[in-house]
Amino acid sequence: MTQNMTPNLQNYDVRAAAAAPILAMTGWDKPQAGIKLTTAPPAGRFNLRGSPEYCRRICEKMSLALPPKMLQAAGGNQNAVLWLGPDEYYLYTEDADKAAHLAASAASNAAPDHGSLVDNSHRFVGFHIEGENVATLLMAYCPLDVTAAAFPVGKATRTIMAKIDVLLWRQSETKFHIEIARSFAQYGLRLLAFAASNQAALRQAGLI
């Protein structure tokens, strides 16, 4: 018996709603130290690896071209291709139809000799974090330099935050999108809340 593997974003809506209490549990139900953190909208997330031709063909389903350089995103903030490694891309879409088409392609594994497309939509949860000092906050636990000069708008990469892997994507001068494995999301947000409280205390003391 063949199982229907084509999802829709209604399934993702349920999981996004389940993530919402995390904000209250970790202190992010209100801004901290001038930084606002919110749950990203429901989205489809896919890991794409393979030959350039295979990857281009898959990206056409999102009406997007591949990014011109590694560690860059192509497209908008709601529908994008992130080039993370020599033959690896991360597809992100908040469009229900595009997510369904990609999920169907992942389920069919139509061209296994040329590449792979894996649906990670339920594995990760996304957050938006924004504010004037957002880069300083992130660097409390991230070893990368994410200041605007070193990490411009449109740049995206995998990195670590303390003990967990995260994906960072700069969407504007003062806003980042963060992807965290669902099981580590509460830990990651508590780290950021602790960094924000330290930042606020230092500012109040006139040390920064």
Is residue 143 one of the residues assigned to a domain? yes
What was the pLDDT predicted at 125?
Answer: 94
Q: Are residues 153 and 194 in the same domain?
A: yes
Which of 65, 191, 179, 91 shows the shortest CA–CA distance to 138? 191
Domain membership flag for residue 178: yes
Domain match, 105 and 171 both:
no
Distance between CA 168 and CA 53 in Å, rounded? 26
Number of domains in the chain: 2
Check pLDDT > 70 for residue 92. Answer: yes
pLDDT band at residue 2, thresholds of 50, 70 and 90? very low
Indicate whether 8 belongs to any domain: no
Per residue in 16-28, pLDDT (tens digit) is 545 568 999 999 9
Q: Does residue 2 lie within any of the structural domains?
A: no
CATH number, domain with residue 106: 3.30.70.1520
Shared domain for 108 and 89, answered yes or no, is yes
Q: Is 198 helix (H, G, I), strand (E, B) or coil?
A: helix
On whether both 106 and 150 belong to a single domain, the answer is no
10 within domain boundaries: no
Q: How many CA atoms lie within 13 A of 189 on its CB side?
A: 31
Domain ranges, residue 199: 20-42+123-208
Mean pLDDT of the chain: 88
Whether residue 198 sits in one domain with residue 109: no
Same domain, 35 and 93: no
In a domain, 7, yes or no: no
